[in-house]
Amino acid sequence: MTMRSPIAALALLLSTAAPALAAEAGAKPSLLDPHLGLMTWTIVVFVLLAVGLYYFAWGPILEAVNGREQALRDAMAAAEKDRNDAARLLAEQRAAIEAARNEAQRYIAEGRATAESMRGEMLEQTRLQQAELLERARKEIESEKVKAIDELRREAVDLALAGAGKLIGQKLDGAADRKLVEQYLATLGNK
């Protein structure tokens, strides 16, 4: 019976708002007469429809929509995750390639440095060897020369002694003679 006061109020408002219309439309087919039977029909039909649609339409439809929205959200989240993963993997790959390149660069530089140093070393070594060889050769030559000079000197002493012996007619063969000549020759050699 909560319905009655609004109906009454509405009817009151209708009659106050549109007396002219109501008067003109006449008694029989009035446009603004609330008809209780039709109102009851409307309530019955509407309530039945609302209940029917609630159970057979809105529920399933919104459920399906929510399900699809959920699926969509999931798919989007998965796609987002995949994309992030891909980006991460790409970054990792890039970093790895960069690292490899750096390493290669480093190896090349290292190899070059090694080769450089080795070359220098070998050059140095060669030079040293060469110098050593030269030195040795020079020393040998020097010693050969000294030896030859000594030989020559001894020969000269012998010749001189032989010559001098012949001259003085006696054999100058004593160690003292030899020493004498050698002393003399040494003074010559020093000149």
Partner 1 sequence: MKTASLAALLASLVLAAAPLRAQDRPATPAPVASTVEQDSAAVTLTAQEPAAAEHAAPEGEHEAGPVDIITPHITNGDHMEIPYWKFPFFKEIELPHWKPIVIGGLSFDMSPSKHVVFLLLGSTILFLMMVLAARSLRRAAVKGEAPKGGANAIEAMILYIRNEVILPNVGHHGEGFVPYLLTAFFFILTLNLIGLVPYGSTATGNISVTATLAIMTFITVEVAGVRAQGWGYLNTLFYWNNDLPIVLRPVLFLIMSPVEMIGKLTKPFALAIRLFANMTAGHIVVLALMGLIFSFAGPLSAAPLFMSVLIMVLELFVAFLQAFIFTLLSSVFIGQIRESHH
The torsion defined by the Cα of 59, 64, 65 and 70, in degrees rounded to 10, comes to 120
- Binding residues with partner 1: total (CB under 8 A): 48
The interface region with partner 1, picked from 27-35, 88-96, 107-115, 128-136 by CB under 8 A, is 27-35
Q: Running DSSP on this structure, what letter comes out for residue 6?
A: H
The interface region with partner 1, picked from 10-18, 98-106, 162-170, 180-188 by CB under 8 A, is 10-18
Shortest CB 78 distance to partner 1, Å = 14
Instruction: Name which position in 15, 19, 54, 113 contacts partner 1 (CB under 8 A).
Output: 54
Angstrom distance (rounded) from CA 132 to CA 55? 112
28 binds partner 1 (CB under 8 A): yes
52 binds partner 1 (CB under 8 A): yes
Q: Running DSSP on this structure, what letter comes out for residue 54?
A: I
Closer CB to partner 1, residue 38 or residue 180? 38
43 binds partner 1 (CB under 8 A): yes
3-class secondary structure, 57: helix
Closer CB to partner 1, residue 13 or residue 141? 13
> What sign does the dihedral 138-139-142-148 (CA atoms) show?
negative
Angstrom distance (rounded) from CA 58 to CA 120? 91
Nearest to 189 by CA among 149, 162, 143: 149
Q: Running DSSP on this structure, what letter comes out for residue 170?
A: S
Instruction: Name which position in 15, 19, 62, 89 contacts partner 1 (CB under 8 A).
Output: 62
The interface region with partner 1, picked from 65-73, 109-117, 169-177, 178-186 by CB under 8 A, is 65-73
Shortest CB 8 distance to partner 1, Å = 10
C-alpha distances in Å from residue 30, one per residue of 12, 27, 172, 177: 16, 6, 185, 181
Name the site residues for partner 1 (rule: CB under 8 A). 2-3, 6-7, 9-10, 13-14, 17, 21, 24-26, 28-29, 31-43, 45-46, 48-50, 52-54, 56-58, 60-65, 67-68, 71
